[in-house]
Structure 1
Amino acid sequence: MEKESSTLSELQIIEHIQKYLGPSADRSVIKGIGDDCAVLRKNDRECLLITIDTLVEGVHFDLAWHPPFLLGRKTGAVNVSDIAAMGGQPRFALLSLAFPGSAPAWLDDFLAGFHEMLQEHDTHLVGGDTVKSSNDLSISVTIIGEAAEEVICYRSGAETGDLIFVSSTLGDAAAGLALCKTDLPSGDSEKWQQLINAHLDPQPQVQLGKILAQSSLVHAMMDISDGLATDLAHICKESGAGAEIIKGELPVSPQLQSASEKTGKPVLDWVLKGGEDYELLFTVSPDHEQELRNLVLKKTGQEIFCIGRIIEGKGVFLSDGTNRKEVSFQGYDHFND
């Protein structure tokens, strides 16, 4: 199995695991592999949402330019975001740290940032593990959340004709990562600060996730962690449908556009493939579009952006009104990037 897995994509490895383990026969398991969280029945009305993510030095972050405090915040944020993607409230966290040698000098700053992110979302650290690694730092976090069973949003609910929405601009985090790697001109640090912050200190959309889920208007939802092209393909795969993205409707920040113009890096590369946006991606019937827009504006004061439509068939396509090309699963893949 190990030899074969080395040639597989991340999606294929997950499918390989599903093939061997299969669905659980335990009636308390409502959803296992295949969504942002596992969903377990807590009682007649409520469910537990459980998610785990791992960050590895040299793959997800570089201590040369990622301040320990912000790394702690991001470590919490990427896990909390999975709970938000299903409309839940994060409650408890487990933290596992593996680092070479003795405890690093920056550990206190990291823990302070991690604690601050948990506090912002009323989440409590209740345990974990520490071990010595042979080389790089590895951080794993498990978050346990809660939600009423009837409001939980899955990836699998998108329907043909649904409109596709995102909660904010896309691609900033990917551009911020490029800047941290000095692929972008440093110039005026304030000019690029929005992009850098998007990568170093993402903000999970817990409040919005609960509003969307409790509205009963949203058919499918997830967060954008691996890039729009890949994550929308996940929704399509689980829903048995396809999607068309309208190029001209993709929300792009002025800073991202400016970075693209100065570097020659296409905006679409960051928007479609970059990942780590941690914004929400969701679908809604056209009949309820305005109702949902009004609700979100009233509750949060923010705008949401329609970027396309769920279609019959398979695949995710990008359209400019004249031409259409498939972009399915072109985002970040741990085993191909």
Structure 2
Amino acid sequence: MATISEIAKAAGVGVGTVSRYLNNEPHVSEPKQKKIQAAIDELHYTPSAIATQLRSQTTKNIGFLVSRITNPFLAALFDAVETNLKARGYQVLVSQTHDDPTAEKRFLDQIKTHQLDGVIMASVEDADLVRQIAAEYPNSIVLLNEEIEDAAIKQVTLDHYQATLNGLNYLYQQGHRRIAYATGGDFPSLRHGQSRTQAYQDFYTAHQLTIDPNLIYPKRHGLKDGQMIGETIAQLNRAQRPEAIFTNSDEVAMGVIAAVQAAGLRVPEDLAVVGYDDQPMAQFAPVPLTTIKQPVRAMAEQAVALLLQGLNAKAEPVASKRDLQLTLVIRKSA
């Protein structure tokens, strides 16, 4: 393979001039450009991909950080992001934190070592760390379906507070007053699901109702968690049992439905159930699921566009606020 020195000799110019031409830098005259390109063609010169990467400090690698990729909603979000970036010549590396700030730090450190050009974060464990890295490497991080207040970070945020209120108010309008609540985070929450949990608390205050701590189910994520909740509810006597449950995951909601039906309770007559995300399987559940629909494709497109714009790469126009609305989909479970 020819070297830059051989190209320079054949073209009758200096090595520095060839280097500037290969890196698309200014101050190379048109005649010299033609001579260099002719020498490149004659000697069949191919620039080293690794050398080009080192010069430009780009890897074409983008990180995607989630708490659990086994969550069908997050898996769908990753698929949409990966498809979008792959079409633009990027490779996407996914990592799970499992709610561990240390795992988050290890992954984000790859920005510092130039193993990743940037990261799209669909979960945040340590907000202070994310702020710090975003300040050191501006435009390298985009938050997707997560929010850090007062941070100079591009964020794709949806109004989960209002969407949760809409779901709870719908249950209230159906006559339900004892409404259980299942969340993937803590209760009360300072991180995961904070806005949704705040909406639940504010809903009870607005309607002058009292939250029953026995009807709060924190750190529940999947079908088995939902089944455990359903089994617990089914064992309660009628006075203690909730009339409805608002869950922060379609998986949890469907697990609840399966368990209470197995125990002889009817949905929605004995227990109304609302999920979150509107995963494809929600409409095919034994009792089609009432849920909050998240606009996965628009969210992914927005996050990719914001990140690539920050990296000075080509990107599609950013989605509108209307594209990013959450909507209540009413089916038979509530």
Fold equivalence (TM over 0.5): no
TM-score normalised to structure 2 length: 0.25
Tell me which protein shows more helix as a share of its residues: 2
RCO comparison, higher one (Cα < 8 Å, 6+):
1
- Greater Rg, structure 1 or structure 2? 2
Higher strand share: 1
